[in-house]
Chains A and B, each alone.
Chain A
Amino acid sequence: MKRASIIMIVGALCLLGLFAFPLWNIMLGAPQYPDPLGMNIHITGIQGVSEFDLQNIDGLNHYIGMKTIPKADEMWEFNVFPIVIIGMVLLGVLLGILGYLGKIDYRYFLGWFLLMSILGIMGMYDFNLWLTDYGSNLDPHAIIKVINEDGTPMTYKPPLFGYKKLLNFDVSSIPATGAWLMFVGMALTVVAFLVGWKSTGSHSSHQNHKLATS
């Protein structure tokens, strides 16, 4: 159980990577942009991959009537997300310590994972809502209006995950370093649960081990 608790603590601490690395990355490439424009979505705000990418994305987007990319103080998410992450790190570390001291058992680790998963899904849902709004809530005075074959106006929502062609742009949207660290951290909490489960059921696991090696 002590080993499981340490893994739990390490797993929870992996979430701190979100304060150093971007959560998500969206790249926009086109023939006339041999160096693609890109934005890194951090939990504290959106940054350009290169220094002036945001300004240049906004410059392009104004032709189709998209809103400018929000500053950190223009979205509540960038205030709330850091608090949530800090809270989950503290909770995870606390659970780990309590586990280490034998105050709680391994099932709490899985509980933390489930809570984090729910929060993550809510975050993705919120992110998707924002992308949808950003890509379809267009200025009616926009200079360029592209109509789909079915007569509806084209939307410019970047994909939540993966690749999409938007007019002449190749748009990709994938998790970035911070997200990968978060996934690793969350996976570690599951490992902590499994290790804790095995160590408490030591008798049976010992037998299993014997069977496996005999």
Chain B
Amino acid sequence: MKKYSLYLVAILGSVLFLSGCGDQNGKASSNGALASNNAEKVYVAPGEHDEFYAFMSGGYSGNVAVYGLPSGRMFKEIPVFSQFPTNGYGYSEETKPMLETSFGFIPADDSHHPDISQTNGELDGRWLFINGNNTPRIARIDLKTFETAEIIEVPNSAGNHSSSYITENSEYVVAGTRFSVPIPQRDMPIKDYKGNFKGALSFISVEPETGSMDIKFQLIMPGFNYDLSHPGRGKSHGWFFFTTYNTEEANSLLEVNASQNDKDFIAAVNWKKIEEYVENGGGTMVPANYTHNVYSDETHSATSTMKKEVLTVDPTKVPGAIFFMPTPKSPHGVDVNPTGDYIVGNGKLSADLTVFSFDKMIAAIDGKKFDGEAYGLPILKFEDVLAGQVKSGGLGPLHTEFDGQGNAYTTFFISSEVVKWKVGTWEVIDRKPTFYSVGHCMIPGGNSRKPFGKYLVSMNKITKDRYLPTGPELEHSAQLYDISGDKMELIYDFPTHGEPHYAAAIPASILAPKSQKIYKLAENEHPFATKNVSDARIVHDGNEVHVYMAMIRSHFTPDNIEGIKVGDKVYFHITNHEQDFDVPHGFMMIGQKNSGLLIMPGQTKTSVWEPKQEGVWPFYCTDFCSALHQEMQGYVRVSPAKSNIDLSWSLGE
């Protein structure tokens, strides 16, 4: 009896404690004993590795951050669309071309939706694709090196939002425009938007061996906003689905004017049909201006090429390729389940989810049962293609992922929760609150044919009381749910950098065997590489000075340089001679105006230094490399512009 009353006190205490925290969960599953169980679930002991690696978009950071699951530890930030002072990406001469666009050098962007390459609908861990939303771009990150390998700009596009999703054999990565714009761009009244603006959906081919990207064709669609997209799977492979909003084609105060229609559309695109049309000579090549930036692991350098034309396709010229499915209400996510049977529309102003049947869609198309058309493109009848609706009682469904066990998980932004429901019966099984205002969710492999349905990560927009105030802005919180049981369990939350809009995760066991640990010096094809220490030298070319420098624990060769003059432009081309994993060297020089360098073993990088003052100026290694790291330094003597001191350099004299 005494024991019983103790229990009672404990339970009362925990209820009070929970209500004090504003926990809406309020169930026994969150009491102390189980919480410690949850701690074990996310604990990764020293020296042990996380089971999954998650790639979270950085949103306005323009980059991608890599997190371990279940630990929530951040392992790395991969610079993609933004300059990154940590290693000189976008500052070093070799990587500056990666950020070139038709608008010039753009060192920032808004990265949104990463997607991992697939083979037969399963994650293969070769590449990660991500979109730059603001200046429309698609980047390919090589998962062998975790470095950005390629960036292609997307012309005729604006707000590259419905991307970067890939087909099940990585045939295409799409770049769908959020904003419709005049195509080609021209000076015209904004109020004439309706009927004149167009939306480009770009299909970028991915070369199967190298991953090299090329815009195969652009569909020039009616002037709606294209929000998100998803490729078909299995039987629906060959189709791509895009959600739209602003089918009203409003151009002002969109929060009201673009929310008038009860239903917007999911555009179903039969890309195989369009591919066939294009390969038979269809489409119109139009002038365009966009960059294609490629980084080479051999030269450790990027090149930026300007492309001058792009193939556009008028969708009305390819009958039977594109159909609109009416979807309530301003849908955000469009998600296809792992078998490819169903297309889920997440109407962000709706309380319900709308699920379409791929089979019914095909039957309706075959039966030509249309409900009018929009700009010459047939609209399917809502009832004819509807598979079912998830009556959730939540508000604002945004995005759905799948666990591979026949269950789907949908985030609800307005009601701040994750809802688990059964595919086929549309019945809600479970729901759990998030903290707070969840955007997308992610299950490792959850948008492939083979999800690893153990964890779900919710990416929240507000953090509020999850961490102590650190000023007006907090890092966004991600939350980890264990979804291996019948009921979801919130087991952890951790801060994320920037604003993750979406993420993709993969078992670490797929990535680790392919991972590259060093660059082989012997394979370094950088034109300014110093592969042998005896080749270290300085070359004068007008007022340009090229320093061919080598570095190894714990010295630079050369470390004394004289004969540099005020007004010279000094290029330090530095080669790291280490061939040992995890031993980069750094380089900083007093007065260096761009960024320091972090140079990986076997790699060459270049930084420019323009001396403005006479004197003797030091440089040093910034990455603690050995017991003698502090001694890894050197001096540059800078003489007056008119002095006649000869260039000279030395080490150990």
| Residues of B contacting A55 in the complex (Cβ-Cβ under 8 angstroms) | 579-580
A52 touches B628 (CB 8 A): no
A56 at the interface (CB under 8 A from B): yes
Inter-chain CA distance A55–B522, complex, in Å, is: 13
Interchain nearest-CB distance for A110 vs B (Å):
49
Most buried by B among A52, A55, A63, A143: A52
Beta-carbon nearest neighbor of B602 in chain A: A52
Interchain nearest-CB distance for B259 vs A (Å):
57
A56 touches B628 (CB 8 A): no
Chain A contact patch, size range: under 10
Among A67-125, those with CB < 8 Å from B are: none
B518 touches A52 (CB 8 A): yes
B552 touches A63 (CB 8 A): no
| Residues of B contacting A59 in the complex (Cβ-Cβ under 8 angstroms) | 552-553, 578, 580
- The B interface, classified by DSSP as helix, strand, loop or mixed, is loop
Inter-chain CA distance A59–B628, complex, in Å, is: 12
B627 touches A52 (CB 8 A): no
Beta-carbon nearest neighbor of A54 in chain B: B579
Interchain nearest-CB distance for B522 vs A (Å):
10
B628 touches A143 (CB 8 A): yes
Map CB proximity to B onto A119-159 as digits: 1 under 8 Å, 0 otherwise. Answer: 00000000000000000000000011000000000000000
Inter-chain CA distance A144–B631, complex, in Å, is: 14
Among A164-212, those with CB < 8 Å from B are: none
Inter-chain CA distance A52–B578, complex, in Å, is: 9
| Residues of B contacting A51 in the complex (Cβ-Cβ under 8 angstroms) | 579
Inter-chain CA distance A148–B626, complex, in Å, is: 24
Inter-chain CA distance A158–B280, complex, in Å, is: 71
Interchain nearest-CB distance for B438 vs A (Å):
39
Inter-chain CA distance A143–B578, complex, in Å, is: 19
Among A17-73, those with CB < 8 Å from B are: 51-52, 55-56, 59, 63
Inter-chain CA distance A58–B552, complex, in Å, is: 12
Most buried by B among A56, A59, A63: A59
| Residues of A contacting B578 in the complex (Cβ-Cβ under 8 angstroms) | 59
Inter-chain CA distance A204–B636, complex, in Å, is: 90
Q: Which B residues form the contact surface with A (CB < 8 A)?
A: 518, 552-553, 578-580, 626-628
8 contacts between A and B (CB under 8 A): A51-B579, A55-B580, A56-B580, A59-B552, A59-B553, A63-B627, A63-B628, A143-B627
Apart from the given pairs A52-B579, A63-B627, 15 other A-B contacts in the complex at a CB distance below 8 Å: A51-B579, A52-B518, A52-B580, A55-B580, A56-B579, A56-B580, A59-B552, A59-B553, A59-B578, A59-B580, A63-B626, A63-B628, A143-B627, A143-B628, A144-B627
List the 9 shortest-distance A-B pairs measured between CB atoms, nearest first.
A52-B579, A56-B580, A55-B579, A59-B553, A143-B628, A52-B580, A56-B579, A59-B552, A63-B627
